[in-house]
Amino acid sequence: MSDHIIKFDKVGKSYGSLKVLDGLDFEVKRGEKVTIIGPSGSGKSTVLRVLMTLETINAGVVYVGNEPLWHEQCNGALVPAGEGHLRKMRQQLGMVFQQFNLFPHMTVRRNIAEAPVKVLGLSRQDANLRAEELLEMVGLADQADKYPHQLSGGQQQRVGIARALAMRPKVMLFDEPTSALDPELVGEVLNVIARLASEHDLTMLLVTHEMRFAREVSDRVCFFDKGRIKEQGTPEELFTDPKEQRTRDFLKAVLDA
Amino acid sequence: MLFGIEWDTSSELAFAWSILPILLIGLWVTVQATVLGFFVALVLGLILAVLKAAPSRFISWPARALTEFIRDTPLLIQLFFLYYVLPEYGIVLPAFLTGALALGLQYSAYTSEVYRAGLEAIGRDQREAARALNFPAAHTFTHVLLPQAIPRIIPAMGNYLVSIMKDVPVLSVVTVLEMLNVAKIIGDRTFDYMVPLSMVGGLYLIMTLVASAGVRLLDMRLPKQGLPLK
Amino acid sequence: MAWTEYLTPLLAGAWVTVQLTVYSTILGAILAFAFGIGKLSPNGLIKAVSVAYIEIFRGTSLLVQLFWLYFALPIAGQVIGLDLRLPPVVAGVLALGLNIGAYGAEVVRGAIQSVQKSQYEAARALNFTPRQALFGVALPQAIPEMMPPFGNLAVQNLKDTALVSLISLGDLAFRAEQLRNFTQDSTTIYTVVLFMYFGMALVVTALMKTLERLVGRWRYASN
């Protein structure tokens, strides 16, 4: 019995001849906060999208808890999982999208409460209560009746975070949550994520370009390159004393920018 | 005399005034055929759209081919086909119903594309968010995709409603007494085609301008973000 | 009677259909450009005429237009002392061309208007006259945009030619109806005719795709 909540075992994913994940081995401990950095096209977002079952894999096995995510046991062999298994596994994960992906025709409250009602079976009343608590937490208690387009990008993303949290996931996935935001709105979103990291024992997986933020909140930073982890370590190790030339070049390029 | 109404040929103006009620009776038939044809098109189009989106190629491919075939062949021939061939298989329908069925069939090819485009226009991000929240497929369709698709679909469907109205005169070939047919009969009997046919043109112009304005107005009032869910 | 024996008369009709389609599509294209550009004209009169043409022919039914040209126009001619009796083929080509031209004009107008404002600004900065900007800058970019809807209109036009059979022009639809009267073999005849129209539509679509590639060549040029 390991204390890993996520484990990638030689996972491969390719689009035609392009290898996005190339025999990836990767583990995350329960409660760990891991940041993934790397150049675009290095496969870092794909790790999150595979975990959220938005994209399939071509090779290897992904474990969440101790169960394979994309496979089911059948007569001792692993076979591709059916929708029922995926739905069960998905329950443990929550995702925050780069483009927020809020439902434009639902009020903020309904965006958050819809899945608890329809998927977890909460009453509309309990779900609304949960939504309001979460809105309070992300500092948007007074915006519950607005529609997404009436909010700023930073506010929309905070709703996106609340929406994912409403499902009480064990693992939160953040896919470049601030990349689509104007610079002056980045702070409010990062503050919410930082509070979440310090006050909860939630496992968090974060893909970001915000290096300073990565350094503050993560237990571990992984540098991705060409579908594999090129180098990983504590933020201290990776940012101050990277071993690999490739890592040094990347950090130099982004920190100088 | 037609429909028991006499015409007055003493002057062009008197003639026009006297045949107006007759043409309006024909117009009422035109409206009925339009509405019934539109309804058939909405239903058949939805069926075609669902079949075309089927995961199995053995269903989606024939559905796509059928849509293409319907869209690429003339309404007139489809109408003759239904009118003469259906009775051979024991299905005898009144000319009016056969006509509305033909209109609906022809336009189902177009409406099925409207349904498809309306659903596809909703970005992948919405499907992914629904998936990440573990929505059941049916709920994603009814609460995420449809409410956003409907405001996109309605104006396009409205335009096809107007098109159907303009195609109703084709039904005159199977003896349906719609407005153009009525005008033609008046012309045949009075040897004055000018007045009735021009009036039909004018009435059509009024109807399509009003209907198009209605569609535009409706389009402006539809919520662009989708049907709101509180 | 085997279905192959229907082919000779039907093919004769199909040939008339092809000719009608070609002539009326060419007429329609000329009208589409004339009135589509006319609708954007700063000259109020040209603009009004263009708008009136487009609205009248889009707003009334093709069959109404066809009957009007064939049955009503000669009477209007009598009144002003002119012989405006049109042979069916002329009335047919005119009605089809005028009708499809009005739809095409809206396509032309839309495509010209969709050319980015920055292109006109660049043209103005280079001191092009409005005419030069239209023909040298806007149209070459707009025409490839027009091709897909033009393709749909051409198929629409092919289908619409069937209506001229109602003014006793011997096209495919007319021959089919004649044969049916003669043989009562409706299922076979109309099935064959549907497939003949379908085949012709596929050819029209393919031709328009080729044309689309031709006028859009600059888009695919490498280096």
3-state SS, chain A, equals CCCEEEEEEEEEEEECCEEEEEEEEEEEECCCEEEEECCCCCCHHHHHHHHCCCCCCCEEEEEECCEECCEEEECCEEEECCHHHHHHHHCCEEEECCCCCCCCCECHHHHHHHHHHHHHCCCHHHHHHHHHHHHHHCCCHHHCCCCHHHCCHHHHHHHHHHHHHCCCCCEEEEECCCCCCCHHHHHHHHHHHHHHHHHCCCEEEEECCCHHHHHHHCCEEEEEECCEEEEEECHHHHHHCCCCHHHHHHHHHHHHC
Most confident range (mean pLDDT) of A95-109, A187-201, C24-38 is C24-38
In this structure, which topology does domain C3-221 adopt according to CATH? Answer: MetI-like fold (1.10.3720)
Q: Which of B133, B148, B228 sits opposite A115 (nearest CB)?
A: B133
Query: Which residue is it, tokens 């061309």?
Result: C97
Backbone φ, ψ for residue A231 (5° rounding): -160, 145
Predicted confidence (pLDDT) at residue A10 exceeds the cutoff of 50: yes
Distance (Å) from the C-alpha of residue B139 to the closest C-alpha of chain C?
Answer: 36
Q: Which residue of B has its CA nearest to C204?
A: B72
Query: Cα dist. B183→B193, C55, C56, C174, C191 in Å?
Result: 8, 22, 19, 22, 32
Chain A contact residues (CB < 8 Å to B): 52-54, 87, 90-91, 93-95, 97, 99, 101-107, 109-110, 114-115, 118-119, 145, 147-149, 163-164, 167
Q: What percent of chain A has pLDDT over 90?
A: 63
Confidence of residue C123 (pLDDT cuts 50, 70, 90): confident
Predicted local confidence at residue C223, as pLDDT: 43
The domain ranges of chain B are: 12-221
pLDDT in tens, C136-190: 788 888 888 899 999 999 999 999 999 999 988 888 988 988 888 888 888 888 9
Predicted confidence (pLDDT) at residue C51 exceeds the cutoff of 70: yes
pLDDT in tens, A217-234: 999 999 999 889 999 999
Interface ipTM: 0.89
Predicted local confidence at residue B10, as pLDDT: 83
Predicted local confidence at residue C221, as pLDDT: 56
The domain ranges of chain C are: 3-221
Q: Which of B125, B126, B135 sits opposite A118 (nearest CB)?
A: B135
Predicted local confidence at residue C196, as pLDDT: 93
| C58 has a chain B CB within 8 A of its CB | yes
Predicted local confidence at residue B55, as pLDDT: 82
- Report chain B residues whose CB lies below 8 A from the CB of C166: 173
Q: Which CATH superfamily is domain B12-221 in?
A: MetI-like (1.10.3720.10)
- Report chain A residues whose CB lies below 8 A from the CB of B223: 105
Which residue stretches of chain B have pLDDT < 50? Answer: none
Q: Which residue of A has its CA nearest to B150?
A: A105
Predicted local confidence at residue C215, as pLDDT: 82
CA A223 to chain centre: 16
Residues 6+ apart with CB under 8 A from C37: C108, C109, C112, C134
Number of Cβ within a 10 Å radius of residue B191: 10
| C186 has a chain B CB within 8 A of its CB | yes
Predicted confidence (pLDDT) at residue A1 exceeds the cutoff of 80: no
- Report chain C residues whose CB lies below 8 A from the CB of B33: none
Q: How many CB pairs under 8 A join A and B?
A: 75
Q: Does C contact A via 3+ CB–CB distances below 8 Å?
A: no
pLDDT in tens, A162-221: 999 999 999 999 999 999 999 999 999 999 999 999 888 899 999 998 888 998 899 999
Pairing of strands A59-64, A4-15: antiparallel
